[in-house]
Structure 1
Amino acid sequence: MSAPSHGPVAALLFNALVWGLSWIPLQALYRLGLHPLISITLVFGGALATLLLSRPASLRGLVRAPQLLAVSLAAGLTNIGFNWAVTIGDVVRVVLLFYMMPVWSVGLAWLMLGERPTRAALLRLLLALLGVTLVLQRPGQAWPLPSGLADWLALMGGFCFALTNVLLRRWRDTPGDARALAMFGGGFVMAGALALGSGALQTLPTAPVGDWLAWVSLLAIAVFGGNLALQYGAARLPAQVTALIMLSEVLFASVSAVLLGAATLTSATLVGGALIVLAALLAIRR
C-alpha cells in the first residue's frame, strides 16, 4: 500500500493541533472573565457565521437532511464537555478521559449500527477501562471515581464524541457542508442555551472588549479552518489512518500543557494514558 500523500496528512495534523492547543485561548478567556459557556457560544457563533457566509448552500443541504439535527445535539454536547473541561481542569487528565472512545464506541456501535462486539473489541474495552481507572485514581481517594466538574464534563464530552462519530458513519452520504453546519450550529445553539439558562450570560468580562475579542476571533478562525482540514484529509485517507493521525491531539495537548504548567503528570496518569491510547490504537488497526 502506498504511503499517504503529504497534503491530507498535514490537514489532519493541523486539525489535531487546533484542538490540542484550544485550551490556551479558552483558559485565557476564562482569566479575562468570560464563562466557558460564553466563550464556546462566541467561538462557534463565529465559525457558524463564517461557514454560512462562505458556503450558503450548506443551509439547503441541512434542510434536506433533517436527521443531522441529531448530529447537532451530539456535537454540541461534545464541544461543551471538552472545551469547558479543558478550561477549568487539568488538561492532560481531561484529554485522556475525553479519549475514552474505545469504551463508548463498542456499546454505541452495537446499539445503533448492529455491530456486535468481538473478543478483540472487548479486550480494547478492558484496556481502556483499566487505563481510565488509573487516570481517575487520586492519592487518598478510596475509589477511582470522577472528582470535580472537569472530570464529568470530559467523560460526557468523550461519550458524545463517540456518538457523533457513530451518527456521522450512519449518515455519511449527506453533504459534508451540511454536516459541518450541523456541528457548528449545535455548538453555538446548545452552549448559548445553557449559558442563558444557567445565568452565565449575566457575568460580564472584567477586561476590555478588545482583549477577549482577539482570542475569540483567533479560536473561531482556527476551529473553522480545522473543520475544513478534517473534511479534506478524512475524505482522502483511509479511516484507520485518519483516526491514527487524530490521536496526535493527545500529544499536542499533553506536551503544551506540561510545558505551560497547566497539567501535572503522575506515574498513574502516564500508565493509564498509555493504556487508553493503546486501546485506541488497537481499535484503529483492523
Structure 2
Amino acid sequence: MTADRITHIATAIVAVTGVLWGIYWLPVRAMVGLGLPGGWGTVLATTAAALVVAPPALMRWRQLRRADPVALAAIALGGAAFTLYSIGLVYGRVAIIILLYFLTPVWSVLIGRYLMGWHTPALRIVAIGIGIAGLLVMLSAGGEAPLPQGVGEWLALVAGVLWSLATTGIRARSDLGAVPATFVFALGATAAGLALAPVFDPWPAEALAASPVRLGALALACGILWWGLSLAALMWATVRLDPARVGILMQTEVVVGAVTAALLAGEHLHPLEIAGGALVVSAGLLEVWPVRRRRTGPA
C-alpha cells in the first residue's frame, strides 16, 4: 500500500471518528431513556468495550508488560476523561459540553509549557488567549458569572483538563500499540465510571430487570463502535497523520454535535454562545497550526 493511500485512509478514519463522536450523545441519552440514569450507561458501554478488546489485547501481553507505567497511567487517565465527558452529556446541553471539552488545546499548551518545559510558540499563546476569551463569552451568555452552570458543564471542563494531562503523558512516554492501548483506555474509563456513577444515582436494578436485552444490546453496540473500534482506529490513524490535520478533522465533532442536538433535541444556542464557541474552535485550529521551529544550530 502506497504512502498516499495510507494517508487517505487515515484521513477518512479521523473524519468519520469525529462524526461518530458528534452523535455519541444519542446512545448515551437513549440508555438514560431506557432507565439507566447518570453514568450507569457509560459504565455498561465501557465494560462491554473492555471485554471485547480484552482477548486481542491480552494476546499482546508482552507489549503491556514492557509498557512504561507512566504511559499506562496516562492512557487510563484518558479513559477516565472520556467517562467524565460521557456523563456530562447526560446532565448538560450537547453543544456546550462538547465545546467545553474542546478547550483541551488551551490546557495542553499550558501543561506543556509549565509542567514539561516545552517551547511555546507565539501562535500557541494567541490560541490560549482566544480559547479563554471564548470560554468567558460562552459561559456569560445568560448574564451569569462566566462559570460552568450545572454538573454536566463542570464534568466537561474537568474532562478536558484530564485529557490534556493524559495526552501529554502519552506523547512523552507511550509506545503502546493501538489494541492494548484501547484496552487500558477502556479499563480506565470503566474504573472512573464505577467511581462516579453511584455518586449521582444508585444501581438501576429495576431498569436492568425490565429491559435487559435492549439495554445490553445498546450498551454493547455503544461499547464496540465508539469505545472499541473507533478509538482503536483513531489511535492507528493519528500516528500516520500530521497533528494539524488530525486536529482540524476532529473539529467535525463540534459541528455534528451542535447540529444534531439542535435538530433532534431542540437544543439551540444563544448568539453569544455561538460566538464563544467559534472562538473556542478557532483556538483549537490555531493550536494545531504548523509553526516554524526555532533554529537551534547552524543550518
Q: 1:59 to 1:71 in 2, by over 3 A?
A: farther
Matches within 5 A, 1:197-212: 200-201=202-203, 204-205=206-207, 207-212=210-215
Letter in 1 for 2:95: V
- Give the counterpart of 1:155 among 154, 157, 160: 157
Alignment pair present for 1:248 and 2:252? yes
Q: How far, CA to CA, are the matches of 2:225 and 2:28 in structure 1? A: 13
Letter in 1 for 2:223: A
Q: How far, CA to CA, are the matches of 1:225 and 1:273 in structure 2? A: 29
Shift of 1:196: 4.9
Q: 1:57 to 1:136 in 2, by over 3 A?
A: same
Q: How far, CA to CA, are the matches of 1:262 and 1:84 in structure 2? A: 20
Q: 1:132 to 1:33 in 2, by over 3 A?
A: same
Q: Which residue in 2 is equivalent to 1:27? A: 29
| Farther off after superposition, 192-201 or 82-91 | 192-201
| Farther off after superposition, 67-76 or 216-225 | 67-76
Q: How far, CA to CA, are the matches of 2:259 and 2:222 in structure 1? A: 20
Q: How far, CA to CA, are the matches of 2:198 and 2:271 in structure 1? A: 41
How big is each residue's C-alpha offset from its partner over 1:16-58, in whole Å with a ceiling of 9 and x where there is no partner? Answer: 1221111001011112111232111111111111111233234
Q: Percent identity?
A: 25
SS at match of 1:201: coil
Q: Which residue in 2 is equivalent to 1:283? A: 287
Letter in 1 for 2:51: A
TM-score by length of 2: 0.87
Contact 2:178 2:232 survives alignment (8 Å): no
Q: Which residue in 2 is equivalent to 1:78? A: 81
Matches within 5 A, 1:58-69: 58-65=60-67, 66-69=69-72
Q: How far, CA to CA, are the matches of 2:5 and 2:270 in structure 1? A: 36
Q: 1:19 to 1:198 in 2, by over 3 A?
A: same
Q: 1:257 to 1:137 in 2, by over 3 A?
A: same
| Farther off after superposition, 147-156 or 8-17 | 8-17
* Alignment root-mean-square deviation, CA: 2.2
- Give the counterpart of 2:186 among 184, 196, 208: 184
Contact 2:94 2:261 survives alignment (8 Å): yes
Q: 1:232 to 1:76 in 2, by over 3 A?
A: closer
Q: 1:68 to 1:146 in 2, by over 3 A?
A: same
Shift of 1:203: 5.6
TM-score by length of 1: 0.91
Q: How far, CA to CA, are the matches of 2:198 and 2:151 in structure 1? A: 19
Alignment pair present for 1:117 and 2:132? no
How big is each residue's C-alpha offset from its partner over 1:234-254, in whole Å with a ceiling of 9 and x where there is no partner? Answer: 132112111211111111111
| Farther off after superposition, 165-174 or 39-48 | 165-174
- Give the counterpart of 2:274 among 266, 270, 280: 270
